[in-house]
Structure 1
Amino acid sequence: MPASEAREGMISVQYKVLEFIGEGNFGKVAKCVNMKTNENTAIKILKDVNDYDDEVEMLEELRTLDPEKNNLVRFMDSFIDDDKSCIALELLDRSLWDLMVQRKKPLTLNEIRPITRQLLVAFNALKGIGILYTDLKLDNVMLVNHRDQPFKVKLIDFGLAMPVSEVEEGMIVQPCQNRAPEVSLGLPISEAIDMWALGCVLACLFFGHNIFYGTSTYDTHQYFKRERCPPNSQWRLKTPEEYKKENDDQLQLSKRNFDHIGNLADAVNKYSNAIEEVEVEDTRAFLNLLQMLLNSDAEMRITPQQALEHSFVTMSHLADYAHKSLTATDSLDEFTEASVRTAVYHHAPG
């Protein structure tokens, strides 16, 4: 029977379905129990066997990476039960999207920082083995156990990941709102597209909504037109007449959060609640990292390794504030991220 019609209580090889906990275009996700180990597991039930083959192949390739050290979902098993293609993965808590919906407010910089570091570690590991992730969005970053390990996250869903060697110029990847400029413009792409998407995700956590909008590929072609002149093609800015005609005939633009904000720095400053000097300094560091992630020139965009050494991640820009807060009995050797957060930045909300 089709995966979408799988019954609760189904026993498949060594897994028993307890409940369905997610659904998407790919199929469903079921919370199961491993009948041999009694361990709760997430089973991804795919509609398309081709999607199953692609994702399993990629997950097998990722076995060379330590999932705990590199913040990647742990791949456990894969099997086909009747006509149901199934992938067994570690059971995680909830996605960042679910967290944002539940909170109904943006995250603080102290909450964004550990998420940033962990995702950079994940992307640095993927870059190290020549893999593009291509599908970063809030839904694909999951909290491991938010109650016991706040803001510990893992990257999930590798169905659209691919080796760099298989990338073709002009291919369309990434969700529209997180799509790097070089993808939209049909230029050569590299692992740098994942850094652009990371910038979009971190900005969304900070602002509480996306900084770029797009529900279709047409949105990304709103201002540019591609001239196809074999053997080459080139992009040009649309004429006012072309833009007006397409807007009047096809595109209905609504008011958006950043319509009257000039640039990223203005947006961050407007949305920031920073008052004290240490908060202002941290906001500046975050803005600088965002600017480096969202560099429109892919060759100039910051890499995962470079970003891991950025002051927003290392908190080196707050060292002076930690020194000022040390007591006579404190040792500089005991200076850690936790001490900065509690002794210096304790007044941050959340």
Structure 2
Amino acid sequence: MNTSDKLQIFKGSTLGRCHTVEAFLGEGGFGFVTKCRNTETGRTEAVKVNKNHPEVVCQAKLEISILKRLRCLDPDTCNIVRWNGFFFDQEHICLNFELLDQSLRDYMADRNHQGLSIRELSPVVHQLATALSHLRSIGIVHADLKPDNIMVVDRKQQPLKVKLIDFGLARPVSAAKAGACVQTTWYRAPEIMLHIPFNEAIDMWSLGLVAVELATGCPLYPGETDYDMLNFIMETQGQLADYLLDRGMGTDYYFHKQRNSQPRWTFKTPEEFAYETGFYAEETRYIRLGSLDDLEQVLAMERGHQSDQHLFVDLVKRMLQLDADLRIKPLEVLRHPLFYHSPPQCSRPDVCITIDPEETEPEVSWQPSTRQTAGPGGILRRRRVPTLTAVSEHEWAALEENDLKEADVQPEDNVKQDGWFRRLFNRITGAFHLLLSCDG
């Protein structure tokens, strides 16, 4: 089977010097991912083959610069895919990763989209918050967190161990600019849709939506367009505050600005939006909530009452805070009471993370969030297949010159890591993070 005739790579062909293609695992605008046997080591690996197109090559270089920044993180304890380096196959840049079992999307499909229990999903949420905590510690935004980019290491293992993959849209926080086209539509944060300046908090928004999807078996906001997404969000969570809408460079695309009125911004009706843009709103939700608090009722209907479901809903509400500045931080997630009753297994003490001193000082007071009231109550509808939004490769002009130089690819089969520095770094920070992540 050949999934890419233009690249002329087939099952049985050899990539680079020693990678024999055994199967095709996935395909996208960048190229495709193959399962390969490394004939020198005997290991089976996942190889991402990028197209020889100027924009794709540029994106691959930027991804390599991010992957190099992640070398200080231990892949296993940080729940991030292990990167084994890169090589060339003719003009194609090939990224070499550890081979993992299946995506969380496929795992849920194998379960016929039956939601996970709170006990089953809590370790997954904890591991992903751990990954985000490490990314935040080194100033990286993943910018495309979704079930497709979360891999189950071994589906037979319980509790599930997962790893975050695909850093093709990741960027330093310093390079995050308002108006960048990042995140897949269903998991896109409001600040991205409205072109508000953003940071790593967009990953926490995505994690909140992934958590809901794991619990219910279906996406919470499966919008076909950003207009649909904003409409769904506001029906459940209410309209964004004026001070947030004032900051958006794209706010007037979706809202009318009123003079001498409160609120100043009024969301355009579907008819108004269609008349102005030619795009028609669609109702694509499978679950429609009047507020995020209604999620408790949905969970009780599907699996019966669970002792920790109120804590789960409280955590989701903090993850889906409309104001990114008030959204819960990864380390705060790890200390949430949801994990007190059934704490996930602690990471090994050689974990590598830089702790932000500003995060370790405040004591977090966990009180139930105020009840949210907005929009009509629940109806059920059919599921829809997601429409992925194309991603631009032109948003990284703000990257430091040194990063771009570091990303200039040179042929090599393996990345040599600074082992002595990494071991020292792990020893210094490991015990402290172990105390934080396993507290309670």
Superposed displacement of residue 52, structure 1: 1.6
Partner of 2:9: 6
Where 2:78 maps in the other structure, the secondary structure is coil
Judged with a 3 Å threshold, the aligned counterparts in structure 2 of structure 1 residues 247 and 56 are, in CA distance, closer, same or farther, namely same
For 2:24 and 2:268, the matched residues in 1 are separated by 51
Judged with a 3 Å threshold, the aligned counterparts in structure 2 of structure 1 residues 2 and 87 are, in CA distance, closer, same or farther, namely farther
Matched, 1:237 2:237: no
Partner of 1:96: 104
Matched, 1:270 2:298: yes
Matched, 1:254 2:283: yes
Matched ranges for 1:152-301 at <5 A: 152-220=161-229, 235=252, 237-238=255-256, 243-247=270-274, 250-254=279-283, 256-259=285-288, 261-272=289-300, 273=302, 275=304, 279=306, 281-301=307-327
For 2:321 and 2:281, the matched residues in 1 are separated by 28
Partner of 2:45: 41
For 1:233 and 1:55, the matched residues in 2 are separated by 28
Where 1:299 maps in the other structure, the secondary structure is helix
- Which runs of 5 or more residues in structure 2 are unaligned? 240-245, 257-265, 344-440
Partner of 1:26: 30
Superposed displacement of residue 171, structure 1: 2.2
Letter in 2 for 1:200: L
Superposed displacement of residue 262, structure 1: 1.1
Superposed displacement of residue 24, structure 1: 2.1
Partner of 1:137: 146
Judged with a 3 Å threshold, the aligned counterparts in structure 2 of structure 1 residues 81 and 269 are, in CA distance, closer, same or farther, namely same
Where 2:32 maps in the other structure, the secondary structure is strand
Where 2:25 maps in the other structure, the secondary structure is strand
Where 2:23 maps in the other structure, the secondary structure is strand
For 1:121 and 1:170, the matched residues in 2 are separated by 28
Say whether the 8 Å CA contact 2:47–2:95 is kept in structure 1.
yes
- 1:63 maps to which of 57, 65, 71: 71
Matched, 1:76 2:95: no
| Deviations 1:263-283, CA, capped at 9 Å, x for gaps | 11113312324546xx2x300
Letter in 1 for 2:120: E
Where 1:44 maps in the other structure, the secondary structure is strand
Say whether the 8 Å CA contact 2:270–2:281 is kept in structure 1.
no
Judged with a 3 Å threshold, the aligned counterparts in structure 2 of structure 1 residues 110 and 218 are, in CA distance, closer, same or farther, namely same
TM-score by length of 1: 0.81
Say whether the 8 Å CA contact 1:71–1:122 is kept in structure 2.
yes
- 1:305 maps to which of 312, 331, 336: 331
Higher RCO (CA 8 Å, separation ≥ 6 residues): 2
Aligned length: 309
Which stretch has the larger CA shift, 19-28 or 41-50?
Answer: 19-28
Partner of 1:335: none
For 1:71 and 1:38, the matched residues in 2 are separated by 24
Superposed displacement of residue 83, structure 1: 2.2
- 1:147 maps to which of 156, 160, 166: 156
Where 1:5 maps in the other structure, the secondary structure is coil
| Deviations 1:200-254, CA, capped at 9 Å, x for gaps | 0000111111111223344346699xxxx9xx88647346886424347531423
For 2:32 and 2:70, the matched residues in 1 are separated by 23
For 1:285 and 1:121, the matched residues in 2 are separated by 19
Superposed displacement of residue 295, structure 1: 0.7
Judged with a 3 Å threshold, the aligned counterparts in structure 2 of structure 1 residues 103 and 17 are, in CA distance, closer, same or farther, namely same
Superposed displacement of residue 46, structure 1: 1.3
For 1:31 and 1:240, the matched residues in 2 are separated by 47
Say whether the 8 Å CA contact 2:145–2:203 is kept in structure 1.
yes
| Deviations 1:47-90, CA, capped at 9 Å, x for gaps | 22122211111111110111111010000020111122211100
Where 1:33 maps in the other structure, the secondary structure is strand
Higher strand share: 1
Say whether the 8 Å CA contact 1:265–1:287 is kept in structure 2.
yes
For 1:234 and 1:168, the matched residues in 2 are separated by 16
> Percent identity among equivalent residues?
36
TM-score by length of 2: 0.65
Where 1:23 maps in the other structure, the secondary structure is strand
For 1:234 and 1:218, the matched residues in 2 are separated by 11
What is the aligned-residue RMSD (CA, Å)?
A: 2.7
| Deviations 1:281-324, CA, capped at 9 Å, x for gaps | 3001100100110111111110000000001123279xxxxxxx
For 2:130 and 2:322, the matched residues in 1 are separated by 22
